[in-house]
């Protein structure tokens, strides 16, 4: 199953430009606002899970963050971002891995995930993702997670997704995560349709 997911995303990023996917954002404003809400310091270790070719990394580097990691299942997506950034890309740690199987090599101050976790629909794989999250996010660190809202799309990129509210995410994460912010975001796709997102920010407390 992991190989099937990897093949799917390698195909997406090998056949489409970064602006030709529904989740493309010219400016990742909601994510940046929440990273600032978490009072991130420029030296903080930040991981963008499922970051792929996202332009969040460009903005973080421009703001002076120097401990940034991007993890994605697709090597092609990471290559797209590396090429776009040029020499600046050398400042980033790039990891091609499945977030449900990967073993975090360190603990992070901020774990950011926009539009990756909602593709994890199997309960066992959700549990595996959360286990990696617990290993990889420091106590006192922040989880910022953006998923399709309960009234968001049921599928994306031809794949089924899981939709969430902040309450259902809180229940799924279990003890040790305190919800500190919940907000909706209407994302306009490149072809001007609207996808309803739920952004939830948690503090790791135990």
What is the structure's pLDDT at 88?
96
What is the structure's pLDDT at 2?
59
Cβ neighbours, 10 Å, residue 96: 17
pTM over 0.85: yes
Percentages (nearest 5) of helix, strand, coil residues in the chain: 35, 30, 35
pLDDT tens figures, 113-138: 999 999 999 999 999 999 999 999 99
Those residues whose C-beta lies under 8 Å from the C-beta of residue 87, and which sit 6 or more positions away, are none
pLDDT tens figures, 5-19: 777 657 666 776 666
The full set of domain ranges for the chain reads 2-204
Distance CA 129, CA 146 (A): 15
Assigned CATH topology for domain 2-204: Rossmann fold (3.40.50)
What is the structure's pLDDT at 74?
92
The residue ranges of the chain whose pLDDT is under 50 are none
Return the H-helix or E-strand segment holding 59: helix 56-62
Mean pLDDT of the chain: 91
């Amino acid at each position: 199953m992991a190989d099937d997911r990897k093949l799917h995303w390698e195909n997406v990023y090998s056949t489409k430009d970064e602006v030709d996917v529904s989740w493309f954002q010219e400016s990742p404003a909601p994510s940046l606002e929440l990273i600032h809400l978490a009072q991130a310091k420029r030296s903080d270790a930040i991981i963008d899970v499922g970051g792929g070719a996202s332009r969040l990394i460009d903005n973080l580097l421009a703001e002076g963050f120097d401990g940034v990691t991007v993890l994605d299942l697709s090597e092609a997506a990471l290559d797209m971002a590396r090429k776009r950034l040029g020499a600046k890309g050398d400042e980033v740690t790039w990891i091609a891995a499945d977030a449900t199987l990967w073993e975090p090599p360190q603990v992070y101050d901020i774990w950011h995930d926009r539009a990756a976790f909602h593709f994890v629909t199997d309960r066992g794989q959700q549990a595996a993702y959360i286990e990696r999250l617990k290993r990889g996010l420091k106590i006192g660190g922040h989880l910022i997670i953006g998923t399709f809202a309960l009234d968001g799309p049921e599928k994306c990129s031809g794949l089924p997704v899981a939709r969430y509210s902040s309450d259902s995410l809180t229940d799924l994460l279990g003890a040790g995560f305190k919800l500190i912010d919940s907000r909706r975001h209407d994302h306009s796709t490149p072809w001007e349709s609207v996808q309803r997102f739920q952004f939830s920010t948690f503090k790791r407390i135990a």
